Amino acid sequence: MVKPISRISTEIDFEKNGKQVGHLAVPSSTNESAYGIVPIPITVIKNGKGPTMFMTGGVHGDEYEGPVALMKLAAKLTPAKIQGRVIILPAMNLPAVLAGQRCSPIDGLNMNRVFPGERNGSITLQIAHYVSNVLLPLTDYQFDFHSGGKTLEYIPTMIMNVSKDKKREKRTTEALKAFGLPIGLVDVKSDHGGLFEMECEERGILSTNAELGGAGRVDVQTLAWTEIGMMNLLKFFGLMDGKIVTPESQGRPAPRLMEVNDPRSNSFAPDTGLYEHFVDLGANVKAGQTIGQVHFPGNWEKKPWPVKARRAGLMVLKRPPGRVERGDVVAQIAQDWKG
């Protein structure tokens, strides 16, 4: 008897035409449920031959915009509207999504640091293993929708990686622009790091990930841009007919390609206290500029500690919570991509 690739099972037939809505059954044996499962929702829409687009959200459970947009897309798409196959996992790390936590409340793992996962590992590792070894081999294009979660807030941003495959890199850049968010970050990564996007890169799959705002909310404008962008991707890669809705047609600029590859891009809280921002998202700052300060309510005699930008550029990320711990990122400064 051949051992199955994964311990996770599903009634979904990935080769069947039509629309299937179901779940991935992840084995879960607990004190309360000896033979239970964690049901990860999945929708598959297929119509004949064509490419496969795999779209995911909820890798981190406190990032809400991606799951909301993907659930709306899954409800809207029908086989008649597409040519090829669309696989949607709106809440890949369902335990974390239900708990509203970045990491899984079951095993404490950050899903986006454990790829390609382990067949016989804990729940987070099993899910990552199934995605890596069952779903990615079916995939031509992968898009993962994140946000800043409860502790960070981005200008809506699409992120891509520099690749050894320059033809794929060029196509990825075109897809990033077609999605149409205000910022496009180009990352240069030195190792795998257990990241989903780097697992896709190793497998030769065109992929990007989005950072859709954050601050523990679902912003009306960001969600609207995301829904348009998802449809643009389907059109761009030929899974759907229709004209791409460009940012320019909506009265806003094309995506600005930038980078945050310099370690000096991040500014950190120098100590535990209450952080006061002096500048907001979208502000242009100078190197050495004071961008905020940390207050110390437990020590009235201690003066506020200034936080400075370590490089010039555009503030694309900030920390919304007022309370900070030493080492928390409070801002990220991007510069225009020169590559």
Scan for tokens 């795998």, then name that residue. 192
Token couple for 339: 């590559």
The pLDDT assigned to 251 comes to 92
Kindly state the helix (H) or strand (E) to which residue 179 belongs, with its residue range. Answer: helix 166-179
173 and 208, same domain (yes or no): yes
Kindly state the helix (H) or strand (E) to which residue 231 belongs, with its residue range. Answer: helix 220-236
pLDDT in tens, 31-78: 888 988 999 999 999 999 999 999 999 999 999 999 999 999 999 999
Q: What is the CATH number of the domain that holds 182?
A: 3.40.630.10
Q: What is the CATH number of the domain that holds 273?
A: 2.40.50.100
pTM of the model: 0.96
The pLDDT assigned to 97 comes to 97
196 and 95, same domain (yes or no): yes
Q: What does pLDDT average to over the chain?
A: 96
The structural domain count of the chain equals 2
In a domain, 83, yes or no: yes
In a domain, 4, yes or no: no
Split at pLDDT 50, 70, 90, the class of 292 is very high
252 and 292, same domain (yes or no): no
Among 225, 259, 293, the domain-final residue is: 259
Token couple for 162: 């520099």
52 and 147, same domain (yes or no): yes
CA dist 339 and 334 (Å) reads 14
CA dist 267 and 287 (Å) reads 11
229 and 278, same domain (yes or no): no
Looking at the predicted structure, is the pLDDT value of residue 1 above 90? no
In a domain, 97, yes or no: yes
76 and 187, same domain (yes or no): yes
3-state SS, residue 122? coil
124 and 15, same domain (yes or no): yes
102 and 251, same domain (yes or no): yes
146 and 131, same domain (yes or no): yes
Residue 57: exposure state from Cβ atoms within 10 A (0-12, 13-18, ≥19): buried
Q: Which domain holds residue 307?
A: 264-336
pLDDT in tens, 202-243: 999 999 999 999 999 999 999 999 999 999 999 999 999 999
Kindly state the helix (H) or strand (E) to which residue 98 belongs, with its residue range. Answer: helix 94-99
197 and 271, same domain (yes or no): no
Token couple for 71: 């659930």
Looking at the predicted structure, is the pLDDT value of residue 332 above 90? yes
217 and 313, same domain (yes or no): no
3-state SS, residue 141? strand
Looking at the predicted structure, is the pLDDT value of residue 244 above 80? yes
The pLDDT assigned to 320 comes to 96
- How do strand 256-259 and strand 323-324 relate by DSSP bridges? unpaired
Tell me the average pLDDT across 150-164: 96
In a domain, 280, yes or no: yes
130 and 234, same domain (yes or no): yes
Tell me the average pLDDT across 315-326: 97
In a domain, 1, yes or no: no
Looking at the predicted structure, is the pLDDT value of residue 190 above 90? no
The pLDDT assigned to 31 comes to 86
The pLDDT assigned to 276 comes to 98
